[in-house]
């Protein structure tokens, strides 16, 4: 037994007072004269026994009444020692993601969650309380006193940032590695709970589900374009994905605005729990400064009603042609002096390997061998997403190149074949030719090859052009994030007339266009840690600006790309402009994570089933009742309280004392 006020136990010495009174009866006896006392002896003995019994009972009840009264003021309790609390730190996580904007019969979910957090904090007023939300990271989470904590909780508002339980526990671990108590107040969307939670047996986790009414919601999920190149005065087709997370069919209007001007508006109907993709075609004259947004009308969850995007003119595709002999340098007329390509040609003996890192498309144009340095840079650009085309030479060193191809798990070259074959099969479904031909293709005159290398077909390849003998004239392999194209014959020899054929131009043009990365139209707050600029920039200070903020992102140059890390400084969706000094470089758009629009949640019953199957006693789910939560916290913090029971016993014995005095005359 423990006591909150053990010093009051000294008051038990006061029990000696009624005992002394009982032992030394201080009442004076009064003498009464009778004429005869011979009949009083038996009466006297009988009354003395009754009086002694009455006095003893009164003494006992009085002692018990005083004892329990003193114990009531000492506040006795029994500590519930379960062996898992070893610190006085308490963490309260309030889920302030946008899904908490849903409205219950008791109000907004975020307001209900804040009320729970305030009561939990007040119940732990003798412990260190940490407040965690989605927009507070482990660098600026503070220990707060009661007044500051109340202010901080009341100031919580929903944000676009979101975290799962595993991330919350990681933040807690960065603050305290001891066994602590964590209260998690959330609507428990299914994406919020991770499997790692079930195996966490280090902390005491209390789950408090907020009753989400499963509000219907229509969300603008994502948008994209399929064009690799965006230039002025062309038609652009934009694809928009819209999802209905509700349990009934919904209709709404979708508006498209470009530079704050309404471009188009249409009414759509989306079936329950379905997603639909809609296409919008726009024609633009100038692509350098276009900010667009799609808007729908939906309530009460409205953060995903607007989807921002920015269209920036594509940069030229960087092409490097590496050749062995000047006579095979036959791509100048194809790529040079165009607005789409930035073309360079270099002899292998004069090449500067550092230039390879900046290329989008590299042509290994009939070089005889591949050095270790060249191999290193080629693998590097493959990993960053650039494409490579290999054209063997007449003096091709097969073993040297096979070593490189084997590292990439690409089919190697075998023997030289001087027989003449017709290229008779074209893969019209391949992206290189899917939009090239129109109409009947039966009357075409196919090119011929009289000097080629046979290919080992052990690795999986995508056949693009095939010869009559079933050998691949042109094949494509997926390497890392890129395409690796391989010809089986030199293209500069008279034995091969492919370079004079009509297939030559669309083949290499589309190889180059496939090397262009489709412009990213927007970034996702809290997921995309950086955005990529289309411009080749140097290391300096840049500003990301909108009407409300001026942010300095961290600049890094990697594999020829300009990366800007936002360092979690973006917390509001909308249009931003990237500036260098006073020069605007390009438009950047940020959107909230559309997954927050999902109303698919774990109910209390589902969470209980998960916890039951996990057999993890350190994780419990609490009823969403403030009084029950406060009682539970009080019992866990102070043990099971017995002062009320002591007070009841004290009153009982005081009443029993008066009853004995009345009954026994």
Same domain, 192 and 155: yes
pLDDT tens for residues 37-77? 665 555 555 566 677 777 888 888 888 888 988 888 887 77
What pTM was estimated for this model as a whole?
0.63
**Domain boundary residue, one of 491, 514, 537:** 514
pLDDT at 464: 92
Considering the domain architecture, whether residues 210 and 229 belong to the same structural domain is answered as no
Residues written for the chain = 665
The 8-class DSSP code of residue 316 comes to P
Q: Which of 469, 485, 514 is the last residue of a domain?
A: 514
Asked if 657 and 61 count as a contact pair (C-beta separation under 8 A), the reply is yes
Say if residue 287 is in the same domain as residue 334: no
Q: Is residue 299 part of a domain?
A: yes
Compute CA distances 269 → 238, 257, 272, 274, 308, whole Å. 19, 20, 10, 11, 22
Residue 327 confidence (pLDDT): 67
Neighbouring CB atoms inside 10 A of 184's CB total 25
Same domain, yes or no: 390 and 475: yes
User: Measured between alpha carbons, how far is 404 from 413 in angstroms, rounded to an integer?
Assistant: 11
Predicted confidence at residue 84, as pLDDT, reads 46
Nearest-Å Rg of the Cα atoms of the chain is: 41
**Within-domain flag for 491:** yes
Task: Please give the backbone phi and psi of residue 29, each rounded to the nearest 5 degrees, phi first.
Answer: -85, 135
DSSP string, 10-75: GGGGGGHHHHHHHHS--PPPPP---S--TTSHHHHHHHHHHHHHHHHHHHHHHHHHHHHHHHHHH-
Phi/psi of residue 499, each to 5°? Answer: -70, -15
Backbone region of residue 574 per phi and psi (left: phi > 0; alpha: psi in -120 to 50; beta: other values): left
Residues 322 and 447 in one domain: yes
Burial class of 476 by CB neighbour count within 10 A (0 to 12, 13 to 18, 19+) = buried
The DSSP bridge partners found for residue 234 are 284
* pLDDT, tens digit (0-9, with 9 covering 90-100), for 413-460: 988 888 889 988 888 888 888 767 765 556 677 888 888 898 888 778
Single residue among 514, 535, 557 that ends a domain in this structure? 514
Among 65, 50, 148, smallest CA distance to 656 is for 65
Q: What is the DSSP letter of 202?
A: S
For residue 25, cis peptide bond before it (omega within 30 degrees of 0): no
Structural domain harbouring 45: 2-79+642-663
Low-confidence ranges of the chain (pLDDT < 70): 25-49, 79-87, 136-145, 194-200, 212-215, 227-234, 285-288, 314, 327-329, 337, 435, 438-443, 517-519, 534, 536, 558-560, 599, 614-615, 624-628, 630-639, 664-665
Q: Does residue 495 contact residue 416 with C-beta atoms inside 8 Å? A: no
Strand 543-545, strand 448-449: pairing: unpaired
CATH number at residue 349: 3.40.50.880
Task: State the Cα–Cα distance between residues 221 and 598, nearest whole angstrom.
Answer: 10
Report helix, strand and coil shares of the chain as percent, to nearest 5: 30, 30, 40
pLDDT at 633: 67
CA distances from 350 to 8, 52, 323, 591 (A): 95, 123, 10, 47
For residues 223 and 294, membership in a common domain is answered with yes
Asked, for residue 50, whether it belongs to a domain, the answer is: yes
Residue 198 near residue 616, CB atoms below 8 Å: yes
Q: Is residue 36 part of a domain?
A: yes
Would 483 be classed as within a structural domain?
yes
CATH code for position 245: 2.60.40.10
Q: Is residue 58 part of a domain?
A: yes
Are residues 342 and 490 located together in one domain of the fold? yes
Same domain, yes or no: 73 and 203: no
How high is the pLDDT of residue 83? 47
Among the listed residues 463, 459, 454, the one whose alpha carbon sits nearest the alpha carbon of residue 488: 454
The total number of structural domains in the chain stands at 4
334 and 280 together in one domain: no
Residues 197 and 248 in one domain: no
- Claim to verify: residue 626 and residue 648 sit in the same structural domain: no
How much is the pLDDT for 475? Answer: 93
Quick one: which of 181, 119, 171 has its CA closest to 150?
119
Q: Are residues 374 and 332 both part of a single domain?
A: yes
The pLDDT, as a whole number, for residue 603 is: 76
- CA–CA dist 125, 246 (Å, integer): 42
For 110-123, b/e burial (b = at least 16 CB within 10 A) is bebbbebbbebbeb
SS3 (DSSP) at 80 = coil
Q: Write phi, then psi, for 651 (nearest 5 degrees).
A: -65, -40
84 lies in some domain = no
């Amino acid at each position: 037994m423990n006591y909150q006020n053990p010093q009051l136990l000294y008051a038990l010495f006061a029990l000696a007072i009624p005992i002394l009174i009982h032992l030394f009866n201080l009442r004076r006896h009064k003498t009464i004269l009778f004429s005869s006392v011979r009949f009083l002896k038996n009466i006297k003995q009988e009354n003395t026994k009754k009086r002694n019994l009455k006095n003893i009972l009164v003494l006992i009840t009085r002692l018990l009444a005083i004892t329990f009264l003193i114990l009531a003021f000492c506040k006795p309790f029994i500590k519930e020692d379960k062996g898992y609390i070893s610190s006085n730190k308490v963490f309260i996580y309030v889920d302030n993601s946008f899904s908490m904007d849903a409205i219950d019969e008791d109000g907004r979910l975020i307001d209900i969650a804040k009320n729970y957090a305030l009561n939990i904090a007040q119940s732990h007023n003798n412990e260190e309380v940490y407040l965690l939300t989605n927009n507070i990271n482990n660098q600026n989470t503070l220990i707060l006193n009661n007044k500051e904590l109340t202010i901080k909780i009341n100031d919580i508002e929903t944000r676009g940032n979101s975290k799962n339980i595993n991330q919350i526990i990681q933040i807690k671990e960065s603050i305290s590695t001891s066994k602590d108590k964590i209260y998690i107040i959330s609507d428990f969307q299914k994406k919020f709970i991770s499997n790692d939670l079930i195996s966490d047996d280090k902390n005491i986790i209390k789950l408090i589900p907020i009753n989400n009414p499963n509000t219907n919601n229509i969300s603008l999920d994502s948008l994209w374009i399929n064009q690799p190149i965006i230039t002025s005065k062309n038609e652009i087709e934009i694809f928009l994905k819209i999802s209905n997370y509700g349990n009934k069919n919904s209709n709404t209007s979708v508006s498209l605005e470009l530079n704050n001007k309404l471009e188009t508006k249409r009414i759509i109907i989306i079936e329950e729990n379905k997603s639909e993709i809609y296409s919008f075609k726009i024609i633009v004259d100038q692509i350098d400064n276009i900010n667009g947004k799609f808007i729908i009308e939906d309530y009460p969850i409205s953060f995903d009603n607007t989807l921002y995007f920015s269209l920036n003119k594509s940069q030229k595709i960087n092409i490097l042609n590496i050749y062995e002999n000047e006579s095979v340098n036959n791509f100048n007329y194809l790529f040079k002096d165009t607005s789409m390509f930035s073309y360079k040609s270099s002899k292998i003996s004069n090449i500067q390997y550092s230039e390879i890192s900046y290329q989008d498309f590299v042509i290994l144009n009939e070089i005889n061998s591949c050095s270790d340095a060249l191999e290193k840079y080629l693998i590097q650009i493959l990993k960053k997403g650039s494409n490579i085309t290999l054209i063997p030479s007449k003096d091709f060193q097969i073993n040297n190149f096979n070593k490189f191809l084997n590292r990439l798990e690409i089919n190697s070259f075998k023997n030289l074949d001087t027989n003449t074959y017709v290229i008779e099969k074209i893969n019209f479904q391949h992206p290189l030719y899917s939009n090239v031909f129109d109409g009947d293709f039966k009357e075409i005159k196919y090119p011929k090859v009289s000097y080629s290398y046979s290919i080992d077909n052990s690795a999986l390849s995508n056949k693009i052009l095939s010869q009559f003998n079933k050998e691949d004239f042109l094949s494509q392999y997926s390497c890392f994030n890129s395409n690796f194209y391989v010809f089986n014959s030199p293209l500069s020899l008279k034995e091969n007339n492919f370079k004079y054929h009509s297939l030559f131009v669309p083949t290499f043009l589309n190889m180059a266009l496939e090397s262009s990365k489709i412009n990213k139209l927007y970034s996702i707050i809290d997921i995309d840690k950086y955005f990529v600029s289309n411009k080749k920039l140097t290391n300096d200070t840049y500003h990301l600006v909108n009407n409300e903020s001026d942010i300095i992102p961290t600049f890094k140059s990697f594999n020829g790309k300009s990366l800007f890390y936002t360092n979690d400084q973006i917390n509001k969706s909308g249009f931003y402009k990237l500036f260098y000094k006073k020069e605007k470089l390009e438009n950047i758009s940020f959107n909230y994570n559309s997954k927050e629009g999902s109303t698919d949640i774990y109910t209390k019953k589902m969470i209980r089933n998960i916890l039951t199957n996990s057999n993890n006693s350190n994780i419990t789910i609490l009823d969403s009742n403030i009084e029950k939560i406060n009682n539970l916290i009080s019992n866990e913090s102070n043990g099971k309280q017995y002062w009320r029971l002591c007070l009841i016993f004290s009153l009982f014995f005081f009443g029993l004392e008066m009853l004995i005095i009345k009954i026994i005359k």
